[in-house]
């Protein structure tokens, strides 16, 4: 009897062990199954506590894994222009590693200004390789918030004012990153169009503005880019925080667009356990500013989606299906990245990556004015060249907020120009000075402005040519996270300096580095203006290559340069439209953002959206369509020729805009619907073929909450910018 009992005991034990074995075993790598099968299997082995655990941070930039099952942590890093240096476990301090120097790629405004989706792909691939080498699973990039006001401190991290351009540029960037088994994390979803009061401002706007202007780039990222994660923004939307917003997360992102990835908070973007849990948030990062591991109310265990969430699940207040859905999404992200065994190994700060940065920088630089033909510069014509301006030497990869970088090298404009034109010819004067870069703090310059100016003007007066390198920088209240610019004017008394330089020397090439537009009171007296953005590691080489004519400029503006602040739609309706009354902000200009506003209201900008000159010239043939009448499910095939009529090879970003002259609702004067960057040898002609889907001529109808293409006439035009229409053709939609 005893023997039988013992045998029975062992049989039972065996059965229990076998049943548990499935649950207990680590997740061995098994590439024979699909990700979905592996996610399901992993989920079935996890306890409730383990599922909850993976929803929150364990440090500033990583989440918990499941050590018992061998499910790895997720490691994240900023940002859009390079892989940020390592940050300390519990605080924002730099970890001072010695192996984390990266390539600084040009700012996203520069990438957008290339108007070349292929550039976006090589950029995404290169930055993805660096992220992979640095063992990151999620790169917190790119940002696709729309340029609504030139005061927004973070415009330099975004793709400009047009939803179509931003959509076309973001998709290949995501593909490039994710080819490396690294997730892109598109940010900041959504309506984070200013830094001032970003943590709480409540944005009110029409459905139409939301769907036509602010959502398209995010939608493209999800439906075409197949992005694996999205970062919710800090602001509120219609009364609810963006990271806990049923409308934008559950209904639109996960409902309408069928997003199967993870919603990650911006750092500290969660505010309430139940709202976050039920309204679509998956991963919570950076709650509080400390998030210390112990002894603090913000300890990781006390995050909204940590213990407080577990309690609501255990008490039944939130159904277990809620955590199962989140854990499924997080596991999917882990299997796509950290547990992806097919991913390449990546590479860091290579010559190839520097070349990618340089090419993007060259292709993105925009020549705005060249009336005296000072450009391209033939240095043999000049005995002495004065380089003036702090930005010629300032490090522009530090500061700016979370996009700060520790590049392996950074070629300054001064260095690039010296290498190109000869160090012996060049003398440098600072001209103006800003203070030390510090997050959220404006530091005064230690230098005396009048003295710097006098020195620079004297140098300009005795030089054959002046190359002025100025603009904004990455200081707080310039192009920087955390706050907006306080003025549309150039800072650090540059307007006064430029005006005096213009009196001292007629031959001045103005090279401006910024991620934003600015006022130009000196423009009438300027013959030569070159907008060069933030170019990253290879900035100086790229600038020198374009100024010298080795590369013909081909960048075009991704946003309009208004003459004055009050010319912008967002600044035309009082403070409630910008920056808000500190609680609410109403986007009163509605869909009329950027050139849509300038065009429709007949306000002449200094330089229009899509504008940029070249060292050669282009002739556009007449635009033609394959038919005259289309039904709403058809595509319009467009063709026209472009000829390089000048003496040098060059590239032109040709644009096609559409308008609906008679509509039942207000429609912008015109909207970008297609573009292509064409490379043409001197004298070469190409016939371009572009396509627009009739359904993309729709507007978003607030009353029916749907896209609507009205029957009737539409006019399509080919154009060199939003203000330079070459020819038009009318079509009918039946």
Q: Nearer Cβ to ligand BGC, position 266 or 599?
A: 266
Neighbours of 110 (CB within 10 A): 33
Inter-CA distances, 689 with 129, 167, 636, 660, 675, Å: 33, 20, 10, 22, 10
Of 266, 284, 362, 479, which one interacts with ligand BGC (CB under 6 A)?
266
Clarify whether 266 is annotated catalytic.
yes
Query: CB–CB of 239/202 below 8 Å?
Result: yes
- Least separation in angstroms between residue 177's CB and ligand BGC is 14
**Residue 341, C-beta contacts closer than 8 angstroms, at least 6 positions apart:** 29, 31
- Least separation in angstroms between residue 352's CB and ligand BGC is 26
* Contact status: 62 vs ligand BGC (CB under 6 A): no
- Least separation in angstroms between residue 518's CB and ligand BGC is 23
Q: Nearer Cβ to ligand BGC, position 78 or 585?
A: 78
- Least separation in angstroms between residue 140's CB and ligand BGC is 4
Query: CB–CB of 607/561 below 8 Å?
Result: yes
- Least separation in angstroms between residue 484's CB and ligand BGC is 14
**CA 90, 94, 99 angle in degrees (round to 5)?**
115
Q: Nearer Cβ to ligand BGC, position 38 or 154?
A: 154
Among positions 173-202, residues that touch ligand BGC (CB under 6 A) are 187
Q: Nearer Cβ to ligand BGC, position 289 or 371?
A: 289
Query: CB–CB of 228/333 below 8 Å?
Result: yes
- Least separation in angstroms between residue 187's CB and ligand BGC is 5
Inter-CA distances, 734 with 409, 634, 676, 711, 712, Å: 58, 11, 28, 5, 7
* Contact status: 335 vs ligand BGC (CB under 6 A): no
Q: Nearer Cβ to ligand BGC, position 266 or 652?
A: 266
First vs last C-alpha separation in the chain: 90
**Sheet order of strands, 528-531 included:** 366-370, 528-531, 508-513, 465-471, 385-388, 426-429
- Least separation in angstroms between residue 405's CB and ligand BGC is 12
Q: Nearer Cβ to ligand BGC, position 405 or 636?
A: 405
Q: Nearer Cβ to ligand BGC, position 402 or 476?
A: 402
β partners of residue 387: 428, 467
Q: Which of 78, 100, 162, 266 is catalytic?
A: 266
- In angstroms, the CA 244 to CA 239 distance is 11
Q: Nearer Cβ to ligand BGC, position 50 or 266?
A: 266
Among positions 372-411, residues that touch ligand BGC (CB under 6 A) are 402
- Least separation in angstroms between residue 243's CB and ligand BGC is 12
- Least separation in angstroms between residue 499's CB and ligand BGC is 37
**438-474 burial string, b = 16+ CB within 10 Å, else e?**
ebeebeeeeeeeeebbeebbebbeebebbbbbbbbbb
Q: Which residue is at the shortest CB distance from ligand BGC?
A: 402
In this structure, the chain runs to a length of 734
Query: CB–CB of 285/267 below 8 Å?
Result: yes
DSSP letter at 601 equals T
* Of 288, 277, 351, the residue nearest 314 (C-alpha): 277
- Least separation in angstroms between residue 79's CB and ligand BGC is 6
- Least separation in angstroms between residue 188's CB and ligand BGC is 6
Of 39, 107, 119, 140, which one interacts with ligand BGC (CB under 6 A)?
140
* Contact status: 78 vs ligand BGC (CB under 6 A): yes
**Residue 556, C-beta contacts closer than 8 angstroms, at least 6 positions apart:** 113, 115, 366, 610, 611, 612, 653, 721
**Residue 4, C-beta contacts closer than 8 angstroms, at least 6 positions apart:** none
- In angstroms, the CA 626 to CA 79 distance is 43
* Of 153, 80, 158, 151, the residue nearest 112 (C-alpha): 158
**Sheet order of strands, 229-232 included:** 76-78, 138-140, 183-189, 229-232, 262-265
Among positions 517-546, residues that touch ligand BGC (CB under 6 A) are none
653 by DSSP, 3-state: which? strand
Q: Nearer Cβ to ligand BGC, position 79 or 535?
A: 79
Of 173, 189, 267, 522, which one interacts with ligand BGC (CB under 6 A)?
267
- In angstroms, the CA 348 to CA 128 distance is 10
- Least separation in angstroms between residue 198's CB and ligand BGC is 8
β partners of residue 187: 143
Neighbours of 717 (CB within 10 A): 17
**Residue 177, C-beta contacts closer than 8 angstroms, at least 6 positions apart:** 124, 125, 127, 128, 131, 139, 141, 183, 184
Tell me the pairing of strands 584-586 and 202-204.
Answer: parallel
**CA 209, 211, 213 angle in degrees (round to 5)?**
55
**Total residues binding ligand BGC (CB under 6 A):** 7
Element (H or E) spanning 678, and its range? strand 671-680
Query: CB–CB of 79/402 below 8 Å?
Result: yes
What sign for the dihedral angle of Cα 213, 217, 219, 223? positive
Q: Nearer Cβ to ligand BGC, position 233 or 391?
A: 233
Element (H or E) spanning 139, and its range? strand 138-140
Inter-CA distances, 52 with 23, 242, 316, 381, Å: 17, 21, 14, 69
- Least separation in angstroms between residue 170's CB and ligand BGC is 15
Q: Nearer Cβ to ligand BGC, position 187 or 453?
A: 187
Q: Nearer Cβ to ligand BGC, position 227 or 591?
A: 227
Q: Nearer Cβ to ligand BGC, position 233 or 361?
A: 233
Q: Cite the active site residues.
A: 266
Residues found near ligand BGC in the complex (CB under 6 A): 78-79, 140, 187, 266-267, 402
């Amino acid at each position: 009897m005893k023997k039988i009992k013992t045998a029975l005991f062992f049989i039972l034990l065996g059965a229990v062990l076998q049943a548990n074995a499935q649950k207990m075993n680590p997740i061995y790598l098994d590439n024979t199954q699909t990700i979905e099968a592996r996610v399901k299997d992993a989920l079935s082995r996890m306890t409730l506590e383990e599922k909850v655990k993976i929803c929150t941070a364990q440090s500033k930039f990583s989440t918990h894994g499941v050590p018992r099952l061998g499910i790895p942590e997720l490691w994240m890093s900023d940002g859009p222009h390079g892989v940020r240096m390592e940050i300390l476990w519990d605080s924002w301090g730099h970890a001072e590693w010695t192996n984390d120097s990266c390539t600084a790629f040009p700012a996203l405004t520069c990438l957008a200004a290339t108007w070349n989706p292929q550039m976006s792909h090589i950029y995404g691939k290169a930055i993805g390789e660096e992220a992979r080498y640095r063992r990151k699973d999620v790169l917190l990039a790119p940002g696709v918030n729309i340029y609504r006001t030139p005061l927004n401190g973070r415009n330099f991290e975004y793709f400009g004012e047009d939803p179509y351009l931003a959509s076309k540029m973001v998709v290949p960037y995501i593909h490039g990153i994710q080819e490396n088994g690294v997730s892109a994390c598109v940010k900041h979803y959504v309506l984070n169009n200013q830094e001032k009061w970003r943590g709480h401002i409540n944005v009110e706007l029409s459905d139409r503005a939301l769907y036509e202007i602010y959502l398209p780039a995010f939608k493209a990222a999800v439906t075409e880019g197949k992005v694996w994660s999205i970062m919710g923004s800090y602001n509120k939307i219609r009364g609810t925080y963006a990271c806990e917003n049923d409308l934008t997360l559950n209904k639109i992102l996960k409902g309408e667009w069928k997003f199967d990835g993870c919603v990650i908070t911006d750092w500290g973007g969660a505010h309430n356990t139940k709202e976050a849990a039920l309204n679509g948030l998956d991963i919570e990062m950076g709650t509080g500013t400390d998030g210390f591991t112990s002894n603090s109310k913000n300890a990781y265990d006390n995050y909204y989606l940590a213990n407080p969430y577990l309690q609501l699940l255990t008490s039944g207040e939130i159904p277990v299906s809620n955590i199962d859905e989140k854990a499924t999404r997080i596991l999917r992200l882990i299997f796509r990245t950290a547990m992806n065994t097919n991913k390449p190994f990546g590479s860091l700060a290579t010559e190839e990556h520097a070349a990618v940065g340089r090419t993007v920088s060259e292709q993105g630089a925009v020549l705005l004015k060249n009336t005296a033909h000072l450009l391209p510069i033939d240095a043999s014509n000049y005995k002495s060249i004065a380089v003036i301006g702090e930005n010629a030497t300032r490090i522009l990869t530090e500061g700016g907020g979370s996009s700060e970088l520790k590049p392996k090298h950074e070629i300054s404009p001064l260095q690039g120009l010296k290498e190109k034109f000869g160090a012996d010819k060049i003398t440098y004067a600072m001209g103006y000075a800003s203070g030390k870069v510090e997050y959220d703090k404006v530091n005064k310059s230690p230098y005396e402005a009048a003295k710097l100016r006098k020195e620079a003007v004297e140098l300009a007066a005795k030089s054959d040519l002046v190359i002025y390198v100025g603009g904004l920088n990455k200081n707080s209240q310039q192009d920087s996270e955390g706050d907006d610019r306080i003025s549309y004017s150039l800072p650090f008394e540059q307007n006064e300096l430029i005006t005096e330089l213009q009196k001292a020397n007629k031959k001045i090439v103005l090279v401006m580095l910024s991620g934003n537009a600015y006022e130009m009171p000196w423009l009438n007296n300027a013959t030569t203006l070159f907008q060069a953005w933030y170019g990253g590691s290879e900035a100086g080489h790229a600038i020198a290559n374009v100024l010298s004519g080795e590369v013909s400029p081909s960048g075009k503006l991704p946003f309009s340069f208004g003459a004055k602040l009050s010319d912008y739609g967002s600044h035309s309706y009082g403070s409630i439209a910008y920056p808000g009354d500190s609680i609410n902000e109403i986007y009163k200009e509605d869909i009329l953002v950027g050139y849509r506003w300038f065009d429709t209201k007949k306000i002449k900008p200094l330089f229009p959206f899509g504008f940029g000159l070249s060292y050669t010239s282009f002739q556009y043939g007449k635009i033609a369509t394959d038919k005259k009448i289309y039904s709403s499910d058809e595509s319009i095939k467009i063709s026209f020729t472009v000829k390089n009529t000048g003496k040098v090879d060059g590239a032109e970003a040709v644009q096609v805009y559409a308008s609906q002259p008679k509509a039942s609702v207000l429609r912008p004067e015109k909207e970008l619907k297609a573009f292509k960057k064409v490379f043409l040898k001197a004298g070469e002609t190409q016939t371009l073929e572009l396509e627009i889907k009739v359904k993309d001529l729709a507007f978003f109808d607030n009353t029916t909450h749907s896209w609507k293409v009205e029957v009737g006439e539409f006019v399509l035009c080919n154009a060199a910018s939003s203000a330079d229409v070459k020819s038009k053709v009318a079509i009918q939609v039946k």
